[in-house]
Amino acid sequence: MTSVTPAHATQDFITASDAHSAHNYHPLPVVVATAEGAWMTDVEGRRYLDMLAGYSALNFGHGNRRLIDAAKAQLERVTLTSRAFHHDRFAEFCTQLAELCGKDMVLPMNTGAEAVETAVKTARKWGYRVKGVPDGRARIVVASDNFHGRTTTIVSFSTDPEARADFGPYTPGFDIVPYGDLDALRAAVTDETVAVLLEPIQGEAGVLVPPPGYLAGVRELTRERGVLFIADEIQSGLGRTGRTFACEHEGVVPDVYVLGKALGGGVVPVSAVVADRDVLGVFRPGEHGSTFGGNPLACAVALEVVAMLRSGEFQQHATELGEHLHAELGLLVGTGKVSAVRGRGLWAGVDIDPALGTGREISEKLMARGVLVKDTHGSTIRIAPPLVISKEDLDWGLDQLRAVLGA
Ligand SMILES: Cc1ncc(COP(=O)(O)O)c(C=O)c1O
């Protein structure tokens, strides 16, 4: 049923990849060779507009000059020390990132899942040492349809059967409530609750924006009950929604930010937990760590990311083009082609009429027209181009979507 027939060279790469890699992904049949800005070129020279941006890891575009230059300069100096020694980019990185977040301290890791794990450990330790929860009793409230990563503990509190099945036994200590339901959250918080862990906008679930007032309500409730509010801004943060953090749309400052993806500028994996001293100060040497976390190359790139975010230009561009994106997508709602559009800034989940195809089929048809997107569940596709995309390119991408939908 696919409209895409991979040409020979492409098929050779795909066959070789299928033969020697675990089949834990089902990529679109495109083999990328080079990329620049919002565009990727495949092994046969075809160009594609990247409307996924590495799930927001590429907010600043492919091959961003400032980030590549920062990485190259650092490559020539020192790349890895491990945390056994100090290095001269570390303090600057932690200081600048903490300042961007308005917090005291940073605990750097590499991938998003590691940062979420770090936040879970932070909350538990804080619960025992600061809040006074009896040993082994700490609980964390999370939302249904969450996506926080793929480790055994994280999939333990997933509600996605595909992500969980066959990976038990599961880590206990998590309570799951419906996303966006403040009353359910209130009912789930007990004296043993140490944290509420939420995505301010649920990305993998289909770019679900919670009802107005929800995040502010979570903030108020957690403050009242002496519970940490942990915002997983790995996908929603760092400019994607038109603000540095998606929580800002409700004027909310969580206790703990969990950051990843774009923090590494699409160059290296960089993640971090950022919080005040009364929270992150619970760690002592030897209690947590990572060989690569906070390495010089990661710090150099992430420092440049922080400097770029400080200017506000990416947030501004995401706000302006995001308004345009949502206005255009909004016109498709009610045409019989699209049932709903959600999102903020340069981030949209588009529910397509299932009669027109699955999300996968729509993605393949878009690919055939030179646009790369990713389906989520059912007939929903996700649009999240690099924040450096031009209005002309965005409009061209939207033209292709309209053509695929017959709109
Ligand atoms: C909100 C959120 N948290 C955590 C993760 C996990 O990040 P990583 O794939 O780097 O482990 C993701 C990845 O998609 C995410 O979207």
Q: What is the pLDDT of residue 3?
A: 47
Beta bridge partners, 381, equal 350, 375
**Partners of 106 in the β-ladder:** 274
- pLDDT bin (cut points 50, 70, 90) of residue 112 is very high
> How close is the Cα of 201 to the center of ligand 1, in Å?
13
Distance (Å) from CA 147 to ligand 1 centroid: 7
* Per-residue model confidence as pLDDT tens digits over 187-205: 999 999 999 999 999 999 9
Residue 377 has a pLDDT of 85
pLDDT at 300: 98
Answer whether 118 contacts ligand 1 (Cβ < 6 A).
no
Catalytic residues: 147, 232, 261
* pTM, rounded to two decimals: 0.97
Q: CA-to-CA distance for 161 and 271, rounded, in angstroms?
A: 26
Question: First and final CA of the chain: distance in angstroms?
Answer: 21
Measured from the CB, is residue 112 less than 6 Å from ligand 1?
yes
Ligand 1: residue of 234, 240, 257 to mutate (most ligand atoms within 8 A of CB) is: 234
Q: What does the alpha-carbon distance between residue 280 and residue 273 come to, in Å, rounded to a whole number?
A: 8
Task: Band the pLDDT of 6: cuts 50, 70, 90.
Answer: low
- Among 233, 238, 235, which residue's Cα sits nearest to residue 307? 238
Residues 152-176 have pLDDT tens digits of 999 999 999 999 999 999 999 999 9
Peptide bond into 172 cis (omega under 30): no
Residues in CB range of 270: below 8 A, 6 or more apart: 108, 110, 260, 263, 264, 298, 301, 302, 305
Q: Looking at the DSSP assignment, which residues form a beta bridge with residue 343?
A: 348
Q: Is the distance from the beta carbon of residue 304 to the nearest atom of ligand 1 less than 6 Å?
A: no
* Residue nearest atom 3 of ligand 1, based on CA coordinates: 148
CA of 1 to the centre of ligand 1 (A): 31
Closest residue CA from atom 8 of ligand 1: 112
**Ligand 1 binding pocket includes 149 (Cβ within 6 Å):** yes
Q: Which residue has the tokens 């575009």?
A: 61
- Rounded CA Rg of the chain: 21
The residue whose CA has the least distance to atom 16 of ligand 1 is: 235
* Residues 222-277: tens digit of each pLDDT: 999 999 999 999 999 999 999 999 999 999 999 999 999 999 999 999 999 999 99
DSSP state of 37: B
Is there an atom of ligand 1 within 6 Å of 374 CB? no
Ligand 1 proximity of 202 Cβ (cutoff 6 Å): no
